[in-house]
Structures are given as C-alpha cells and as structure tokens.
Amino acid sequence: MTEKVPGLSAVVITKNEAGNIDRCLSALTFCEEIVIVDSGSSDDTVERARAHGARIVDHPFESYGAQREFARTVGRSPWLLTVDADEVVTPALADEVARVLQSGPRFVAFEVPFKNYFRGEWIRRAGYYPDRHIRLFQKASCRYDASRPVHERLVCDGPVGRLRAHVEHHTFGSVGRFVEKSARYAEHWALAAHARGRRAGTSAIFLHTVGRFFRAYFIQLGFLDGTTGLVMSGLQAAEVFQKYVRLWELSRFGPAKVQSNE
C-alpha cells in the first residue's frame, strides 16, 4: 500500500543491523512515523535508517524488556507497531493493519502470526509455527514488563485481538547467527534468574535440555521436516543448555568471580 496510516508509529530497536534494516524499513512505508531506538551500532545501521526517513533515538541497552519499554514511550502516535530489524511486515499485514485501525477497533492490542525462516526456508514445525506475538497496540493501554530480561511480555489494559496476515521473521540466517543470538539471550536470562534466587545443577541442566529437544523434535513434529527439523530442534536444546549451564556457573561461583574470569 502507498497511503500512510494516520495515528500509527513503527518502532524498531537496533544494534548493528545493517544487513537487515533496509529490508525491514522498506516494508514500513505505510506507517505515519518510523522510529529507530539504537543502542550504539558501530556499523551503518543508523545511516541506512535515516535514508528511509526514520527518526533516530539513541538509548543504552540494559535488557530486552527495558529497551522495548523505552521504545514504547518514544513513539508519537496513539498506535504502535513494534518490529525487530530481522522481521518484515508483509503487504497483506500492512493492508490488514490499515483496515483494522480505520474501523475503530474494540481491542487495545493485536497478536500477529509469525513465519520463522531458517536460511530462507519457512520452518513449519518444531514449535516455530504457529508463533504469535502482540506487535500492534495502543500506546496508552499497554506497557512492557521491563523486569523480564528476554522474551519480554506486553501487559495490556483491555482485550487483545488477533490478525490473520503474517510477519516474516528471518531470524535464522545461519547456524552461527542463531548461536550468537542464543548466547546473548542465555546470558541475560541466567543473570536475571540468579538474581531471583534460582539455582541449577546436573538434573536441571540435563532434564531441561533433553526435555526441550524431545518436545521440539517429537511432540511438535520437528522430525517431519527432515534434517532441518533435527537442526532446529537441536539448536533449541542447545540454547536451553546454555541458559542452565550459565545459571549453574553463577550459582557455583557467583557473578563477581565469573565476570572476573571473562
């Protein structure tokens, strides 16, 4: 669509996303405003975003939840569409968002279905589809729980609806990219879990890791996707393994000693 949707701001949080940002922002031209909340990119992410007419806001990164909540506050429109740099709003979703907002919705937020891609291939099983997240919401009626370091939760004061069109999530460009991203998530998760008093030992590491693989590969039918399903199930288990090993390390040695040896 070519017309701007009045009262809608797109908000994108970034750091070193030069490889993704053009594709992401090119799909957001229907929004009245595009805001980039950047946490110190050292590549040309910011310059590329400016070329798309985005407003740039610099803000240091503390956690995913805190960054999302800050980003929520800087959008100027009453409705916000939050998008990650490795995500693409499809034309069908752009049209659906426009129709919903023009009709005066009775919901304060909407869940959007995601199609997750690995090296360009849509992952249909192993827990990756259907995958829904609240991404369109009224700024005044919703807020992020900043206490959650990863997989942040949006708290809404009102009913939440569902959209049908998809966001394309190109999060898995390579195994290396997945592992790098998982390590960041694991670090934030373990630090927050340790601060809440959680501990991990042999049984927790083993049971959570094996359980995650079993669920993804067998219960969520990852085995039907052949080698790709095996890889994606294994990577999920590896992320869980990192989380609990990191928590075990913090539990045994303490944050100060762990950080002093890094």
* pLDDT, mean of residues 18-29: 97
For the chain, which residues make up each domain, given as ranges? 5-171, 174-257
What is d(CA 53, CA 10) in angstroms, rounded to the nearest whole number?
Answer: 12
Residue of 211, 188, 200 lying closest to 247 (CA atoms): 200
pLDDT, residue 67, reads: 94
Q: Which two tokens stand for residue 140?
A: 């005044």
Q: What is the pTM of this model?
A: 0.89
Per-residue pLDDT at 70 = 96
pLDDT at 261 over 80: no
Max CA pair span of the chain: 57
**Assigned fold of 5-171:** Spore Coat Polysaccharide Biosynthesis Protein SpsA; Chain A (3.90.550)
User: What mean pLDDT is reported for the chain?
Assistant: 93
On the question of pLDDT at 1 being above 90, the answer is no
- 257 confidence band (pLDDT: 50, 70, 90): low
Average pLDDT over residues 58-85: 95
Check pLDDT > 80 for residue 161.
yes
pLDDT of residue 258 exceeding 70: no
